[in-house]
Amino acid sequence: MTDLTELTAVQLVDGYRKGAFSPVEATRAVLERAERIQPEVNAFVRLTGEEALDQARRAEERWRRGEPCGRLDGVPVTVKDILLTRGQPTLRGSRAVSPDGPWDEDAPSVARLREHGAVFVGKTTTPEYGWKGVTDSPLSGVTRNPHDPSRTAGGSSGGAAAAVALGAGPLALGTDGGGSVRIPASFCGIFGLKPTYGRVPLYPASAFGTLAHVGPMTRDAADAALMLDVVGTPDARDWSALGPASGSYTEVLSGGVRGLRVAYSPTLGGQVAVRPAVAGAVRRAVERLAELGAYVTEADPDFTDPVDAFHTLWFSGAARVVQHLRAGQRELLDPGLREIVGAGARYSALDYLAAVDVRMELGRRMGVFHGSYDLLVTPTLPVTAFEAGVEVPKGSGYRRWTGWTPFTYPFNLTQQPAATVPVGTDGDGLPVGLQIVAARHRDDLVLRTAHALYGAETALVTARSAG
């Protein structure tokens, strides 16, 4: 029998259309899987079983009549506990947020999913206010890696990544202010996309400003394209949102990579020490791109590590997000968050504007770079998943999570689309991710390239099985 928890959203919708199975069957299977994995990996803040089954029953009736209400009717989804969801508390990983309502409004991305009939099975874990690259919080504890529960799932969308990886819903909404979609997707072995800033509207506005993106976390690029077609539409509540996309991301997936100019930067010009197992897996995937017809050149973008500017913007945002809290509430915060809040509060307006200058120059440099190259490919992270419950790998010497994420946060500064694709594992069986970056507004190229890599991997597995 078909294991419904292993199917993608595209496959579920196709099955509903053919009458092979129903939204209720799929939702029950996903909820059972979620309940089974929760004690070990801690992916959820809460599961909403009865509400989900009620939504699934209504979707099933619409499919029975041949009148689905949208492109995701009956498909189970999860939402990171940063994004407002009508009828459910959004606690942002914090004991300082009251669960009392009213919770009467959806974030734009959640609203679009609801309009298209998605079934909401639960809210996934996040570090407090999404502040770091791993997922643990005073509210919900530690979220663990689906491949090895002694390791971290990454963050800050760690619960979303673990849920998708373990079959607790094929689609997840995550947020990414410095890598928070791509980091956990890489560690957990799934696909994660940070779209061009503004492609997915955000409301309420993030205290981290225009670093903060909303993006799909899925089993593959085809599901992410379908999800982006749904959530990537304007919303009047976000003044910085982009206008409608010029076409469907799903329809451009088959374009392939032939003729694309790809710059492969294994270490950002020697700035990043990458573990050999990671470097090897990424290089092999880059070779597959060349075999598929891309013009691959080893080339580095022209920038030095912008971490100081990122810290100024990020820490200032953290200070702003908790500014309204009373002294007693601040004592409830994650100690690491309290530390960066203190640093952020000490920056001046001139410090902040100097960081904005660095950001604008970085954006200019990447704009020039993409005049020569359609895509930049790097490792997503220089390491694989390390021990759970810590911000940095033990013995690494890093002070903050940005020490081990140098490939991700630069592209939040530049607002470019960037995705991670699983391309193998290290010697411990832990996933390795490859990052694909394109110029702003070229999300289509990122999705096309990722889809081509998934197709090549499927063909390789099929050939091995036949052999």
Q: pLDDT tens digit string along 63-110?
A: 999 999 999 999 999 999 999 999 999 999 999 999 998 999 999 999
Distance CA 210, CA 213 (A): 8
pLDDT digits (tens, 9 = 90+) for 191-245: 999 999 999 999 999 999 999 999 999 999 999 999 999 999 999 999 999 999 9
Q: Within 10 Å of residue 46's Cβ, how many Cβ atoms?
A: 15
Cβ atoms of 262 and 292 within 8 Å: the answer is no
Provide the pLDDT for residue 130: 98
Burial class of 101 by CB neighbour count within 10 A (0 to 12, 13 to 18, 19+): exposed
Q: Identity (one letter) of the amino acid at 277?
A: A
Query: Exposed, middle or buried, 331 (CB in 10 Å: 0-12/13-18/19+)?
Result: exposed
Sheet strands (E) in 118-223: 119-124, 136-137, 141-142, 144-145, 148-152, 171-176, 191-194, 213-218
- Per-domain residue ranges for the chain? 4-466
Vertex 215 angle, CA 435 and 269, to 5°: 25
What confidence score (pLDDT) does residue 340 get?
98
Q: Profile the chain (467 residues) by mean pLDDT over runs of 10 residues.
A: 94 98 98 98 98 98 98 98 97 96 95 98 98 98 98 98 98 98 98 98 97 98 98 97 96 97 98 98 98 98 98 98 94 97 98 98 98 99 98 97 98 98 98 98 98 90 73
180 is catalytic: yes
Residue 29 has a pLDDT of 98
Distance CA 34, CA 130 (A): 22
**Residues 180, 186, 265, 316: which is the catalytic one?**
180
Per the residue annotation, which of 109, 137, 140, 156 is the catalytic one? 156
**Closest of 13, 205, 203 to residue 111, by C-alpha:** 203
CA-wise closest residue to 184 among 161, 213, 215: 161
pLDDT for the residue numbered 376: 99
Cross-strand pairs, 148: 145
The three-state secondary structure class of 136 is strand
Report field, pTM of the whole predicted structure over 0.85: yes
Phi, psi of 145 (to 5 degrees): -80, 135
Of 425, 465, 459, give the one whose Cα is nearest residue 146. Answer: 425
Q: From start to end of 90-170, where are the E strands?
A: 119-124, 136-137, 141-142, 144-145, 148-152
How many CA atoms are closer than 13 Å to the CA of 261, on its beta-carbon side? 8
Let me know if 156 is a catalytic residue. Answer: yes
CATH H superfamily, domain 4-466: Amidase signature (AS) domain (3.90.1300.10)
Q: What pLDDT, on the 0 to 100 scale, is given for residue 454?
A: 96
DSSP 322: T
User: Which of 406, 212, 437 lies closest to 307 in space, CA to CA?
Assistant: 406
| Closest to 88 (Cα-Cα) out of 49, 115, 60, 59 | 49
Clarify whether 394 is annotated catalytic: no
